[in-house]
Structure 1
Amino acid sequence: MDGAVTSQHRTVILAGRITVLLSMLHLVVTMAFNVRHLPAWFSGGLWFPAEGLADPMPSLGAFWLTIGSFFLPLLVLGLLIAWLGRRAVIPPAFVAWLLGGWCTVGALAFEPSGFILLWVPAVMVLRAARSRA
Structure 2
Amino acid sequence: MAAPALSPRRPVVLAGRIIAFLGVVHLVVTLAFNLHRLPAWLTLELWFPANGLRELPPDVGAFWLTIGSFGLPLLLLGLLIAWLGRRDVTPPAFAAWALGAWGTLLALLFEPSPAILLWLPAALLLVAARRRA
* Class of the TM-score when normalised by the shorter of the 2 chains: over 0.9
TM-superposition CA deviations, 1:31-85 (whole Å, max 9, x none): 1111111011010111100021111000100000000001121111101110110
Q: Say which SS state the counterpart of residue 61 (structure 1) adopts.
A: helix
Distance 2:104 2:62 in 1: 22
Q: Which amino acid aligns with 1:95?
A: A
Give the 3-state SS of the residue equivalent to 1:8 in structure 2.
coil
Distance 2:81 2:61 in 1: 30
Matches within 5 A, 1:63-74: 63-74=63-74
Q: Distance in 2 between matches of 1:9 and 1:90?
A: 7
Q: How many residues align?
A: 128
- Tell me which residue corresponds to 1:95: 95
Equivalent residue runs for 1:1-133 within 5 Å: 7-133=7-133
Q: TM-score, normalised by structure 2?
A: 0.93
Q: Which runs of 5+ in 1 are unaligned?
A: 1-5
Q: Quote the RMSD (CA, aligned, Å).
A: 0.9
For residues 8 and 55 of structure 2, the distance between their equivalents in structure 1, rounded to whole angstroms, comes to 46
Q: Which amino acid aligns with 1:120?
A: L
C-alpha distance in 2, partners of 1:114/1:58? Answer: 22
* Alpha-carbon shift at residue 7 of structure 1 (Å): 2.2
Equivalent position amino acid for 1:67 in 2: I
- What amino acid sits opposite 2:86 in the alignment? R
Name structure 2 gaps, 5 residues minimum.
1-5
SS in 1 for 2:8: helix
